[in-house]
Structure 1
Amino acid sequence: MGIPRKSRRERLRAHTTSQIKATALDHLAGGGSGAVSLRAIAREMGMTAGAIYSYFDTREALITALIADLHTALADRLEAACGRAPGDGPAAAVFALGHSYREWGIANPRHFHLIHGHPADPGQEVPEAAHRVPVLLTGLVAACLRLRGAPEPAAGRLPYDWGDFEPGYVVRVRAAHPDASPAALAGALRLWGRMQGLVSLEVYGHLGAQTRRPAKLFHAEMRHSLRAFGAC
């Protein structure tokens, strides 16, 4: 059985939705999330305000859709970077992922701020794509630990167990990496946090007064983190 073809109306709606999102990203790049307005987007696209509300009933719904799209694009980029890593082994893939993430953040500070710079709403569901990078990192850290041949020392000498993490996230990790341990998951989250911390400082201009070589500092921090997993 072939794949059902979309109707002309469905194709037109999908095209208009993509145009709305693209216009919103242009406004975002020019003035941050505060510059995103459904009425302004409608005016630019030659739509009535009522028409655009049939696609996104609130500004927050549009922002939520943009965040999900950005997470997807970022995850696609970082997965591709791992595949192009100049070397074998999980450590090379982690370095490639990390530097690609830093380059993306510097090149797209508004996008970085939109997905990482706002407090998370406890009542809002996290986009599925937001889990892809830390899950990928968990697999890479697990591979590093297997190469090391010994489990990672736990903080405070207290071993991690699956109960330390959100059950839904554990399901995702174990589905993608059945051999990963709780220690690998914890290590991946710590590594992801360190990467985001340094990139955040650089994106928001807080490293310029201290170093002229933030890329070198970032690489050294990643190397230090991976050394704890016996990867380098």
Structure 2
Amino acid sequence: MIQRESRDEGPDRPVLTRRERQRLATFDEIVELGRSMLRDGREVTLRALATEMGLTPPALYRYVKNPAALNELLSDAIFADVVREMVEAGEVYGDQDPAAQIVAAATAFRDWALDNKSEFQLVFVTNSLSGERTIRTEADSATHPLSRGVSGNAATGVELFADHFGGALARLAKQRPFPVPAPQDLDPEFVAVHSQASGAQSELAALLGKNALGMVWLFEFAWAQLFAIVTLEVYGHIRPQLIKSGVLFRAQMREIGSRVGMGEDWDRLIGVSQAVAERRARQRAGIE
């Protein structure tokens, strides 16, 4: 199970100095305040954040150099929370039931998106606090005390998200093999793009295992469909009654599932989705 980073100093975690602990606490404050401002619909700028924290902008720049670095810091924190919620939704079913894990994770993702529209927009739509897409670079990264220099090559939020769904899909393929398109049956442009893949894309292909290129196609096609329906719902481009009922989301998930061997089990999996949604509703109401 993927969890938030622990502050405990175990045998595999470097002992932090007092200064590093203070810096970590400041980063936590930046993330917490930035997300609070985002949820409140306020403009999240370095100057506004510095004012809220009682710092001068130059003092804040020691932690976040520019808007792109702030965007990266907030995005990774949001991604980590989304993945944690997806993991929690599916852990009751265990790795022996990857089909249920996939449906549970997709349901939790949709539920989170509908409840956190401003954060969804930041990390899944614009990828920028200014509304313009940004490019993550090492030079723009926030100098977090537990970033690569201290804790090793930590996964980005995007990688955590892809690994969760990719891992479940790989387990599903081993448990109940389904047809995977051969490279020669795929669109040449798709093949060309992925033949040049590096970094996170190549790691995802390795995670998906045998017939990786065909599996990546199934993965990306499924993600495109899931993302499309959730985005339409988040922005209200579907009738409110249909959003509330979830009927289009379930239909889209059923279509995705039919391509990866989940069709015959769909009646049970619909129950999984409903159980996840109901459990999360009870949690929001403070019943659980």
Retained in 2: the 8 A contact 1:142–1:180? no
Check 1:201–1:216 CA distance in 2 against 1; reply closer, same or farther (3 A cut): same
Measured against aligned partners, the alpha-carbon deviations of 1:170-194 in whole angstroms (never above 9, x if no partner) come to 4312543434632222111111111
Answering whether residue 199 of structure 2 is matched by residue 189 of structure 1, we say no
Greater shift after overlay, 167-176 or 215-224?
167-176
Measured against aligned partners, the alpha-carbon deviations of 1:132-155 in whole angstroms (never above 9, x if no partner) come to 333332333334444554523469
Mapped to 2, the partners of 1:142 and 1:41 lie a distance apart of: 42
Within-5 A mapping of 1:25-40: 25-31=35-41, 35-40=43-48
Specify which of 120, 127, 136 is matched with residue 124 of structure 1: 136
Specify which of 1, 17, 31 is matched with residue 21 of structure 1: 31
Mapped to 1, the partners of 2:243 and 2:79 lie a distance apart of: 29
Map of 1:167 onto structure 2: 198
Segments of 5+ residues of structure 1 without an aligned counterpart are: none
Q: 1:104 is paired with a residue of what secondary structure? A: helix
Mapped to 1, the partners of 2:163 and 2:236 lie a distance apart of: 29
Amino acid at match of 1:207: I
Q: 2:251 is paired with a residue of what secondary structure? A: helix
Mapped to 1, the partners of 2:237 and 2:102 lie a distance apart of: 25
What is the aligned-residue RMSD (CA, Å)?
3.2
Retained in 1: the 8 A contact 2:180–2:211? no
Regions of 4+ moved over 6 Å:
159-162
Q: How does the TM-score come out when normalised to structure 1?
A: 0.83
Return the offset for 1:46. Answer: 1.9
Check 1:123–1:38 CA distance in 2 against 1; reply closer, same or farther (3 A cut): closer
Map of 2:112 onto structure 1: 104
Retained in 2: the 8 A contact 1:78–1:101? yes
Map of 2:75 onto structure 1: 67
Amino acid at match of 1:152: V
Within-5 A mapping of 1:185-224: 185-208=216-239, 211=242, 213-224=244-255
Answering whether residue 248 of structure 2 is matched by residue 228 of structure 1, we say no
Count of matched residue pairs: 230
Mapped to 2, the partners of 1:174 and 1:105 lie a distance apart of: 27
Q: Percent identity?
A: 26
Answering whether residue 163 of structure 2 is matched by residue 151 of structure 1, we say no
Mapped to 2, the partners of 1:159 and 1:66 lie a distance apart of: 36
Check 1:176–1:9 CA distance in 2 against 1; reply closer, same or farther (3 A cut): same
Mapped to 2, the partners of 1:10 and 1:58 lie a distance apart of: 21
Amino acid at match of 1:94: I
Q: 1:117 is paired with a residue of what secondary structure? A: helix
Segments of 5+ residues of structure 2 without an aligned counterpart are: 1-9, 139-154, 264-288
Amino acid at match of 2:109: Y
Mapped to 2, the partners of 1:15 and 1:67 lie a distance apart of: 18
Measured against aligned partners, the alpha-carbon deviations of 1:23-60 in whole angstroms (never above 9, x if no partner) come to 1111111226xx01222222222222332222222233
Return the offset for 1:82. Answer: 2.4
Mapped to 1, the partners of 2:219 and 2:24 lie a distance apart of: 36
Mapped to 1, the partners of 2:178 and 2:70 lie a distance apart of: 47
Mapped to 1, the partners of 2:209 and 2:180 lie a distance apart of: 17
Mapped to 1, the partners of 2:14 and 2:95 lie a distance apart of: 42
Answering whether residue 60 of structure 2 is matched by residue 52 of structure 1, we say yes
